[in-house]
Chain A
Amino acid sequence: MRAFRYAKADDPGAAATLVAGVPDAAYLGGGTNLVDLMKLGVLRPGLLVDVSGLPYDAIEHRPDGGVLIGGAVRNSRLALDDGIRRRYPAVARAVLAGASGQIRSQATVAGNLLQRTRCPYFQNTATPCNKREPGSGCSAIPGAHRDLAVIGTSDACVASHPSDLAVALAAHDAVVEVRRPDGIERLVPIHDLHRLPGDTPWIETVLDPGDLVTGVQLPAPPDGATAAYRKVRDRWSYAFAVVSVAAVFRRDAAGRLDEVRLALGGVAPKPWRLWTAERRLAGTDPGDDEVRSATRAAFAGARPLPDNAFKIDLAADLVAAVLRRSAS
């Protein structure tokens, strides 16, 4: 591991000044992903500014029915929160579906959103990877890509975003609060936080140096809506999603979906909203075949690889299972 300087921040302004002024500086939250990648030599910051002690650790339920989740809230505290469990069950379920008890206890909400891909080549400095080493090539496309993305990818990178929580937040139309180094707050819809790889896969978000994710706003869930999170993985616990789905939906008296929001995990470089499927399903009372067909249609622009093409059918089955009447 490269030697680095360390500063414990007690003030967001000072923290941002430090990070913005040093090209190889990084914020440290729970460290469960960052420290691991530093050990692997994948990340080599020269300065860590520890922001875990900044006052962004509250969960505030607001009079308008929404909630503000502090960026430094530990994942387990989010799943423990009574209002989150009651009003945003898909968020609590997604947290509990991810990682292990130890990691959930330490990892922060902001860190969860900004965690890096688990693409095996990104994590292995002995192999080419355009995300880690621009221009070195992608080892995953001709290699082990079974767990990686099928849509939103490019010839340069097929990494998938590993978060469960971000998928549930996407289905809830979350807005990410970002504090810029000049102190001005910027609001970023979660759909816009992560960038697709294109030919610059090393640029993963719209954040600038020194930008600090201070919180996540969730609007009030639609009255009477169901919120669900389902995850398919290779073992029962402590594994990343092969495919996961978060759904927020509601049926009218006639059984038609008058509200439906769908987000997938495990299939893309970011939480992947199924906008076209949502439009197609809204106002209908779809059977499994219609849901599968609408989901598949949303993958029209997909670029599946030989070993992960199965994810599209799996996603279609999963969305159908979540929306099935008997399931809710």
Chain B
Amino acid sequence: MTDQLRGDVVLRVNGADRVVNLDNRVTLLDALREHLRLTGTKKGCDHGQCGACTVLVDGQRANSCLLLAVAAGGREVTTVEGLAAGGDLHALQRAFIAHDGFQCGYCTPGQLCSALGMLAEAEEGLPSWAGDDLDSVAPADLDDDEIRERMSGNLCRCGAYAGIVAAVREVARG
């Protein structure tokens, strides 16, 4: 493969393997949107600053705009399209609706994926800068400062943060 500027990449997205022939320059974000037609993941800044393109890669949060698709080959990618089970929205999606966690909705797929990754991090015991010490905080005990700090990689230009924090908090508390 090292002599080639492009090649076949096996992308495992939302549980299904898809083989795509890609130029090495294509990011995971563009592969999802332009090649797999999974347009739920959004392109905002395209430089890792806004979080609109956040997906889960092997369960960890990632800016898909900064990840080359070829480097994501074989890894487990979850996008917003993979959150609902059949016709049933994920609890976090329902909470965003209930708490008005968006206005235009453009940042929402990234917010959703980021929040799920963030709650998994908290469950695993990852502390945050918001705490006074390095003690882990169970998801159910995340206060607003913790949620805001842990979600600071996701911007919402409509300013729906109050609803986003409320939605995440509700799901964190189960």
Residues of A within 8 A of B (CB): 1, 3-8, 18, 28, 31-32, 35-36, 39-40, 47-48, 50, 52, 74, 76, 79-80, 85, 89, 92-93, 96-97, 99-103, 105-106, 236-238
Which residues of B lie under 8 Å from residue A35 when comparing CB positions?
27, 66-68
Which residues of B lie under 8 Å from residue A7 when comparing CB positions?
1-2
B159 within 8 A of A: no
Residues of B within 8 A of A (CB): 1-5, 7, 23-25, 27, 46-48, 51, 54, 57, 60-63, 66-68, 70-71, 73, 114, 117-118, 121, 124-129, 133-134, 148-154
Report yes or no: A102 in contact with B124, Cβ–Cβ below 8 A.
no
A31 interface neighbour in B3, B66, B126, Cβ under 8 Å: B66
- Give the CA-CA distance A100 to B118 in the complex, in Å: 11
B126 interface neighbour in A36, A76, A102, A237, Cβ under 8 Å: A76
Distance from B123 Cβ to chain A, minimum over Cβ atoms (Å): 11
Report yes or no: A5 in contact with B71, Cβ–Cβ below 8 A.
no
Which residues of A lie under 8 Å from residue B148 when comparing CB positions?
237
A102 interface neighbour in B24, B54, B149, Cβ under 8 Å: B54
Report yes or no: A106 in contact with B66, Cβ–Cβ below 8 A.
yes
Report yes or no: A102 in contact with B23, Cβ–Cβ below 8 A.
no
Given contacts A35-B66, A102-B114, A237-B152, contact A5 B3 (CB under 8 A): yes
- Give the CA-CA distance A93 to B129 in the complex, in Å: 7
Given contacts A102-B153, A106-B66, contact A79 B117 (CB under 8 A): no
Distance from A17 Cβ to chain B, minimum over Cβ atoms (Å): 11
Report yes or no: A106 in contact with B68, Cβ–Cβ below 8 A.
no
Which residues of A lie under 8 Å from residue B23 when comparing CB positions?
3
- Give the CA-CA distance A45 to B53 in the complex, in Å: 25
Which residues of A lie under 8 Å from residue B48 when comparing CB positions?
32, 36, 100, 102-103
Given contacts A102-B51, A238-B152, contact A28 B134 (CB under 8 A): no
Which residues of A lie under 8 Å from residue B54 when comparing CB positions?
102
Distance from A14 Cβ to chain B, minimum over Cβ atoms (Å): 10
B71 interface neighbour in A39, A47, A50, Cβ under 8 Å: A50
Report yes or no: A80 in contact with B124, Cβ–Cβ below 8 A.
yes
Given contacts A4-B5, A32-B48, contact A103 B129 (CB under 8 A): no
Report yes or no: A52 in contact with B25, Cβ–Cβ below 8 A.
no
Given contacts A101-B61, A102-B54, A102-B63, contact A31 B68 (CB under 8 A): yes
Distance from B67 Cβ to chain A, minimum over Cβ atoms (Å): 6
B62 interface neighbour in A92, A99, A106, Cβ under 8 Å: A106
Of the listed residues A32, A36, A100, the one surrounded by the most CB atoms of chain B closer than 10 A to its CB is A100
A3 interface neighbour in B24, B67, B129, Cβ under 8 Å: B24
Distance from A305 Cβ to chain B, minimum over Cβ atoms (Å): 26
- Give the CA-CA distance A48 to B149 in the complex, in Å: 33
Which residues of B lie under 8 Å from residue A28 when comparing CB positions?
68, 71
Distance from B75 Cβ to chain A, minimum over Cβ atoms (Å): 10
- Give the CA-CA distance A35 to B3 in the complex, in Å: 20
Report yes or no: B60 in contact with A1, Cβ–Cβ below 8 A.
no
Given contacts A101-B117, A106-B62, contact A238 B5 (CB under 8 A): no
Given contacts A32-B48, A74-B60, contact A101 B118 (CB under 8 A): yes
